[in-house]
Structure 1
């Protein structure tokens, strides 16, 4: 990973992007329901928001692994994307606590977690950032495609019945 692209900068950028897409989705819903603007704005903004939402969740997990966050902190980080505008306050909180300091862990240390399968896989991905980014893009795209095929979350029950 480029040294200028630290975990802190990466997480902040994706947290802000997630917040921006919440704004786009809310504006699209106002256009649709308040101004009778049709489905298109919500479909476009919803798709963009969904993609960034999933990207944020993946980024939160990768940063959490790199920074060695606890499972509860990681869960709160991922779940903060569900509540509109909560990703930035979460990012600011972990930043103030020093939980975003440092660089990407691309080398093994004496920490036993570096010797686990997850630790080795994380390091391998961080050493191969282009491949890692492409893999994440594929994963997020596949998940997004499945979710789009299912339709809006409110309609998921009708698919299961």
Structure 2
């Protein structure tokens, strides 16, 4: 089996939708409630990759996961902070693809023209797999907000994990 990590393109939008929409429809991991169309996902990929990184993990020609970074907040002082997202096909968890993607994304962020100082990962809780992934990749839990989202009739907590990439200056 061959596994590669490569930059995403709009041609990957359909496969990415297949992964993501599973979480939209079946879990509270994503706070979206409506499926994302291939066209909308292609637009998201285009917007993100204009500034940041979006990677896909491909195993034997099948996209099994993706990771990307996007702007954390709009104010100028936040320009060196990004929010990260990692999603895996629902049938491939626990096989190391998440770690491969996250580590590759972090390396890509270090290479950007705009220096990224910190990466922030939000996790809908409970989600033991995502918590373990963040902590395995060196993130530390920095916040826990109670009942900030509501999906499927239940209130959902969100935790935030942070990884500082460069020494503070």
More strand by share: 2
Structure with larger Rg? 1
More helix by share: 1
Instruction: Provide the TM-score with structure 2 as the length reference.
Output: 0.28
